[in-house]
A and B are shown apart, each in its own frame.
Chain A
Amino acid sequence: MPILTTLIFLPLLGAIGLLCLPDSARPVFRWVTLVLCALHLALSSWLWLSFDKQLIGYQFTETFDWITLTLGQFGVISIDYALGVDGLSLPMVWLTSLVMLVGAVSSFEIKTKEKAYFSLYLLLTGTVVGCFVALDLFLFFLFFEFMLLPMYFLVGLWGGPRREYASLKFFLYTLAGSVFILLVMIALYLSAVDPAETALSVGLVKDRAMITDQVLDQVHLAISQLQVDPAQLVHTFDLRYLSDPANYVPESLLSTMAGHEIFGMSARLLAFALLFIGFAVKLPMVPLHTWLPDAHVEAPTPISVVLAGILLKIGGYGFFRIAYELFPDGAVYFAAWIAGLGVLSIVYGAFNALSQNDLKRMIAYSSVSHMGFVLLGLAALTPEGANAAIYQLFSHGILSPMLFLVAGVIYERTHDRSIDGYRGLATPMPSYAAWTAVAFFASLGLPGFSGFIGEFFSLMGAFNSTYVPVWMVVAGGFGLVLGAGYFLWTFQRVFLGKTWTMHDTSVLTDLTFREKAMLVPLGLLSLAFGILPGTLFSITEGYVMEFLKKF
């Protein structure tokens, strides 16, 4: 069974199935979604277990020809439906299943237009998984953009009072980022070729099966000496080929050899910068982050969970998979800047979080701050840093849903998220206080929880790096202190002291079973990954070693 295709199309078919159900089946929609998400998690857990950690490169690959466009004198573009996972994408796929399941449980609180909601939710699941497993840049881009539509409607239709503004802002920001990616994509396919298909089209070999490394070397040589007729070149979007400089046509725009310049800047560096901006919007990185707090505040709880838990991860994933793998020269050139922006995100996000009165807004800024560690670890280009960046993505994917669920619990009871609206909630809601404490302490980087590993190793990686100045690492460390500050201060204001609230205290009931069913597993997972970081590192290590060879 093609497992990756199943992971993408199971939710998509589910979405279509839901649309076909009659409105009278209203109570079933949420259960169908829940069961599908549980099945999804089971499948991706199976994927995790059968993943071979020793192998380098992509596993479970599936490749089909999809679009072949002839461009006359300019050769052919071939776009493939190519899927696969490696040490980077596997944790992200599993995380997607997990967060989507938690979100599906949380979605039980949606009481209006359920059919539309749950179909869009499943559509979102499928497209997000597609993003993480696509090996063809075009396919990735397709999922990347298409994901915006369900998200737009999920925030726009079920959101808070300023939902129109927030959803449109989210859409415009991300789309503005992705058109930059589109530009680079066009330049990339014009520059790079698929050596295997080109070998077939020039008649070097008769059959795909006869292609060996020697044949590929022969093609590379012929291309580098401009012996191939441009009309016979097969241009590609396949990331496996795009990441090899030998596949770039000499004199093409993005060839490493040609050194083209645009606006007095090297074309490759410019391309890296555009990709970086595109993904930085999604991550988000200061100063491109302003859509995030608005989107979070207006989104319903399950959508906040998904947005923070997975959608932000696509930004980080894009850095690794596309910006860094395809343009290692750009990554090295801009390393100090990227680290600087990472530190800026950490500190600026933390200061902002400190000053918020809206619980969700505070958590949104804490996300900005935590994503800064990803940038810092990535910019270091050391094994510790890169591993930690992936780890931080994963850990934040577990912890931020928890934080938003915590905010959702109180919002559902009182429809008020202001921090100064409550005091001493620990007395009427003891287990809520306990699990909030777990979420907060894990997020602020208490050793023993996953948050600590990510933050600690990215600082360590940056410290060992030759690209990152030491003062930046120190400033990043200061961000950790600020993080402890805003989490502890919020906890103290909301939960400790004498019970007081402007609302009717009778609504302050403790966690329900459904809420516990979401918070407890996430808390335990964070603890498990904090105590046994090796479970994740053993998967990412192999990928990171290969990844760093490029630099």
Chain B
Amino acid sequence: MLSIISLSIFGIVNLFLGFLKSRRILLPATLLFLIVALILNSMDWNQQALYFGDMLRVNNVFVNFAGIVLITALLIVGISRHFGNDEEHTHPAEYYAILLFSVTGALMMIGFENLIMLFVGVEVLSVAMYVLTGTDKRNIRSNEAALKYFLMGSFATGLLLFGVAMVYGATGSFKLGGIASYVQMASMYGAVSPLLYVGLLFLFIGMLFKVSAAPFHFWTPDVYEGAPTIFTAFMSTVVKTAGFAAFYKIASTAFAGVYGFWAQSLAVMAVLTLLIGNITAAYQGSFKRMMAYSSISHAGYLLLAVVAKVPSSQSAILFYSLSYSLATVAAFGVLMAVSESRQFEGRGDDRYEAFNGLAKTNPLLAFVLTVSMLSLAGIPLTAGFWGKFFIFSAAVQANLTSLLVIAVLMSCVGIYYYFRVIIAMYLKPAEGEGISVSAGFTLTLVLTTVLTLLLGVFPDVVKNIF
């Protein structure tokens, strides 16, 4: 709980640090703030408590999800490189501050116990992201992305709020416990108010939009492509992890009593998400856009665990989020380095061709990206394999055979597009000079790679905590 308070304060402190002459202090300061928050967060281990008038619940699940979000944020700050050297047009102090605020929002989404808190968390996170998406002010695509994200995002939050209101109308409570007991009683007597069903669907739609699951994914490719890469990395890791933490919590506690009602529709959406995400990703010419569709497809695998709703689902979602976040940060980090040094049509080149021959010019970056792709594809000895393994285990336990078959086939499609970039790096002739990157940047990327491999060989170390 202290982590949430401290992060909000640190965000404000960061804004004031912007008045200092030296911009160099911002990055280490933000890293320090996040590390402090991480330590404060781990102090909540084994503390069961409700805070702020039963608005927020802190337990081990909170600590785990918050830990993943904070570690991911740390890594992303580690590869942020002061957001470029453009003194006039970038405002690192504000960016770092907004980043910290959005992490605060993510923590609220993870720990909420009251739907109002969920809404506040979603808004804090989303508004911060709308701003960050548009920070590349002179890039028309960034502007387009921000506007698109804002319009569609606020529509989704509107639906979410409407859903909350209707659920309140049906159950008379904003609290998860209150809703759960109503749902249990009402479904026992077969007298569930239709208002609850509609409210539940609206709530789910709002959440599914945030995690970019089909058919609410249309904003994802454009926004991911338009946003500066560093914020795309943030969007596809932190937002998704927090989104799924909140989504699973609400589905498995408040609405557990009407599982039969939402499982069906969610299963259909999981299939749609898997199919659309994977098949469309295979047709992309741009690596960044491929990563957008791949993030949709990973939402599909995570939905599989939500649909299964067995006791092991939660730890499967935790492990999957962690492995996915690590790999995604590495992938976007390398993309940043590559697209900044190679231009195409007057802007950073994010096509597959930009990676041609990277193995020769920058073997380390190529290796980092290869491990990240293998992890996303779910090849053994990487963290991603275990993520898929646990998700599939949960699905087998819940007897979701047909869903599982589709997920397995789609994971083969995934190999195809993840390998395209490996092919480009290793099998195509080199174009252009080697890319020079700073030591801190390289260190962060190597750290993600090492963690991915360690989790791949010794998953039990982390899994037994979850």
Give A contacts to B, CB under 8 Å: 67-74, 141-142, 145-146, 149, 153, 156-157, 163-164, 168, 171-172, 175-176, 179-180, 182-183, 186-187, 190, 253, 262-263
Interface contact A175-B412, CB-CB below 8 Å: yes
Closest chain-B Cβ to A429's Cβ sits at a distance in Å of 35
Interface contact B381-A142, CB-CB below 8 Å: yes
Interface contact A69-B427, CB-CB below 8 Å: no
Interface contact A146-B460, CB-CB below 8 Å: no
Interface contact B408-A69, CB-CB below 8 Å: no
Closest chain-B Cβ to A147's Cβ sits at a distance in Å of 10
Given the interface contacts A175-B412, A176-B412, A179-B408, does A168 sit within 8 Å of B419 by beta carbon? Answer: yes
Interface contact B311-A72, CB-CB below 8 Å: yes
Closest chain-B Cβ to A169's Cβ sits at a distance in Å of 10
Interface contact A190-B393, CB-CB below 8 Å: yes
Interface contact A183-B427, CB-CB below 8 Å: no
Residues of B within 8 A of A175 (CB): 412, 415
Closest chain-B Cβ to A282's Cβ sits at a distance in Å of 15
Nearest opposing residue in chain A for B381, CB measure: A146
Interface contact B381-A69, CB-CB below 8 Å: no
Given the interface contacts A179-B408, A190-B396, does A72 sit within 8 Å of B419 by beta carbon? Answer: no
Interface contact A172-B415, CB-CB below 8 Å: yes
Closest chain-B Cβ to A188's Cβ sits at a distance in Å of 10
Question: How many Å lie between the Cα of A164 and that of B396 in the bound state?
Answer: 35
Interface contact A183-B415, CB-CB below 8 Å: no
Nearest opposing residue in chain B for A71, CB measure: B312
Select A172's contact among B381, B412, B426, B427, beta carbons within 8 Å.
B412
Residues of B within 8 A of A156 (CB): 423, 426-427
Closest chain-B Cβ to A161's Cβ sits at a distance in Å of 12
Given the interface contacts A149-B379, A182-B392, A183-B404, does A73 sit within 8 Å of B311 by beta carbon? Answer: yes
Closest chain-A Cβ to B374's Cβ sits at a distance in Å of 8
- Decide if B463 is an interface residue (CB 8 Å cutoff): yes
Interface contact B460-A68, CB-CB below 8 Å: yes
Question: How many Å lie between the Cα of A164 and that of B401 in the bound state?
Answer: 34
Question: How many Å lie between the Cα of A190 and that of B396 in the bound state?
Answer: 8
Residues of A within 8 A of B408 (CB): 179-180, 182-183
Closest chain-A Cβ to B238's Cβ sits at a distance in Å of 26
Contact residues of B between 379 and 410, Cβ < 8 Å to A: 379-381, 389, 392-393, 396-397, 401-402, 404, 408-409
Given the interface contacts A142-B381, A145-B379, A186-B396, does A157 sit within 8 Å of B464 by beta carbon? Answer: no
Interface contact B380-A141, CB-CB below 8 Å: yes
Closest chain-B Cβ to A263's Cβ sits at a distance in Å of 7
Residues of A within 8 A of B415 (CB): 171-172, 175
Residues of A within 8 A of B311 (CB): 72-74
Q: State the majority secondary structure of interface residues on B.
A: helix
Between A and B, 24 residue pairs with Cβ closer than 8 Å are: A67-B460, A68-B460, A69-B459, A69-B460, A72-B312, A141-B380, A142-B380, A146-B380, A149-B374, A156-B426, A163-B427, A164-B423, A164-B427, A168-B416, A176-B409, A176-B412, A179-B409, A182-B392, A182-B408, A183-B404, A186-B389, A186-B392, A187-B396, A190-B397
Interface contact B459-A179, CB-CB below 8 Å: no
Closest chain-B Cβ to A15's Cβ sits at a distance in Å of 15
Residues of B within 8 A of A179 (CB): 408-409, 411-412
Contact residues of B between 271 and 317, Cβ < 8 Å to A: 311-312, 315
The 5 closest A-B pairs by CB, nearest first: A176-B412, A179-B408, A142-B380, A67-B460, A145-B380
- Decide if B458 is an interface residue (CB 8 Å cutoff): yes
Question: How many Å lie between the Cα of A532 and that of B401 in the bound state?
Answer: 50
Residues of B within 8 A of A253 (CB): 396
- Give the total of B residues in contact with A, Cβ under 8 Å: 30
Nearest opposing residue in chain A for B397, CB measure: A190
Closest chain-B Cβ to A272's Cβ sits at a distance in Å of 16
Interface contact B426-A157, CB-CB below 8 Å: yes
Question: How many Å lie between the Cα of A176 and that of B408 in the bound state?
Answer: 8
Interface contact A153-B426, CB-CB below 8 Å: yes
Cβ proximity bits B113-125 to A, threshold 8 Å, 1 near / 0 not: 0000000000000
Given the interface contacts A68-B460, A72-B312, does A183 sit within 8 Å of B392 by beta carbon? Answer: yes
Question: How many Å lie between the Cα of A69 and that of B401 in the bound state?
Answer: 24
Residues of B within 8 A of A182 (CB): 389, 392, 408
20 other contacts beyond A168-B423, A179-B408, A179-B409, with CB at 8 A cut-off?
Answer: A69-B460, A69-B463, A71-B312, A72-B311, A72-B315, A73-B311, A74-B397, A141-B380, A156-B427, A164-B423, A168-B416, A168-B419, A175-B415, A176-B409, A179-B412, A186-B392, A190-B396, A190-B397, A263-B401, A263-B402
Closest chain-B Cβ to A422's Cβ sits at a distance in Å of 32
Nearest opposing residue in chain B for A270, CB measure: B401
Residues of B within 8 A of A187 (CB): 396
Residues of A within 8 A of B312 (CB): 71-72, 74
Residues of A within 8 A of B416 (CB): 168, 172
Closest chain-B Cβ to A70's Cβ sits at a distance in Å of 5
Nearest opposing residue in chain B for A191, CB measure: B396
Nearest opposing residue in chain B for A173, CB measure: B412
Given the interface contacts A145-B379, A157-B426, A171-B415, does A67 sit within 8 Å of B389 by beta carbon? Answer: no
Nearest opposing residue in chain A for B377, CB measure: A175
Residues of A within 8 A of B374 (CB): 149
Question: How many Å lie between the Cα of A157 and that of B427 in the bound state?
Answer: 6
Closest chain-A Cβ to B450's Cβ sits at a distance in Å of 16
Residues of A within 8 A of B401 (CB): 262-263
Question: How many Å lie between the Cα of A84 and that of B435 in the bound state?
Answer: 48
Residues of A within 8 A of B404 (CB): 183
Cβ proximity bits B159-172 to A, threshold 8 Å, 1 near / 0 not: 00000000000000
Question: How many Å lie between the Cα of A473 and that of B244 in the bound state?
Answer: 57
Residues of A within 8 A of B460 (CB): 67-69
Question: How many Å lie between the Cα of A68 and that of B312 in the bound state?
Answer: 15
Nearest opposing residue in chain A for B393, CB measure: A186
Residues of B within 8 A of A69 (CB): 459-460, 463-464
Closest chain-A Cβ to B420's Cβ sits at a distance in Å of 9
Contact residues of B between 121 and 174, Cβ < 8 Å to A: none
Question: How many Å lie between the Cα of A239 and that of B426 in the bound state?
Answer: 37
Question: How many Å lie between the Cα of A251 and that of B402 in the bound state?
Answer: 20
Residues of A within 8 A of B392 (CB): 182-183, 186
Residues of A within 8 A of B427 (CB): 156-157, 163-164
Of the candidates B380, B381, B415, B463, the one having the most CB atoms from chain A within 10 angstroms of its own CB is B380
Question: How many Å lie between the Cα of A176 and that of B415 in the bound state?
Answer: 10
Residues of B within 8 A of A172 (CB): 412, 415-416
Closest chain-A Cβ to B453's Cβ sits at a distance in Å of 12
Question: How many Å lie between the Cα of A263 and that of B402 in the bound state?
Answer: 9
Residues of A within 8 A of B396 (CB): 183, 186-187, 190, 253
Residues of B within 8 A of A164 (CB): 423, 427
Nearest opposing residue in chain B for A68, CB measure: B460
Question: How many Å lie between the Cα of A183 and that of B404 in the bound state?
Answer: 9
Residues of B within 8 A of A142 (CB): 380-381
Residues of B within 8 A of A153 (CB): 426
Question: How many Å lie between the Cα of A156 and that of B409 in the bound state?
Answer: 24
Closest chain-A Cβ to B68's Cβ sits at a distance in Å of 18
Residues of B within 8 A of A70 (CB): 464
Question: How many Å lie between the Cα of A517 and that of B419 in the bound state?
Answer: 38
Question: How many Å lie between the Cα of A71 and that of B460 in the bound state?
Answer: 10
Interface contact A67-B459, CB-CB below 8 Å: yes
Interface contact B423-A67, CB-CB below 8 Å: no
Residues of A within 8 A of B380 (CB): 141-142, 145-146
Closest chain-A Cβ to B301's Cβ sits at a distance in Å of 13
Closest chain-A Cβ to B173's Cβ sits at a distance in Å of 29
Question: How many Å lie between the Cα of A40 and that of B172 in the bound state?
Answer: 74
Given the interface contacts A74-B311, A186-B392, A190-B393, does A171 sit within 8 Å of B379 by beta carbon? Answer: no
Nearest opposing residue in chain A for B374, CB measure: A149
Question: How many Å lie between the Cα of A74 and that of B314 in the bound state?
Answer: 13
Question: How many Å lie between the Cα of A171 and that of B414 in the bound state?
Answer: 12
Question: How many Å lie between the Cα of A253 and that of B399 in the bound state?
Answer: 9
Question: How many Å lie between the Cα of A483 and that of B423 in the bound state?
Answer: 38
Interface contact A67-B393, CB-CB below 8 Å: no
Closest chain-B Cβ to A339's Cβ sits at a distance in Å of 27
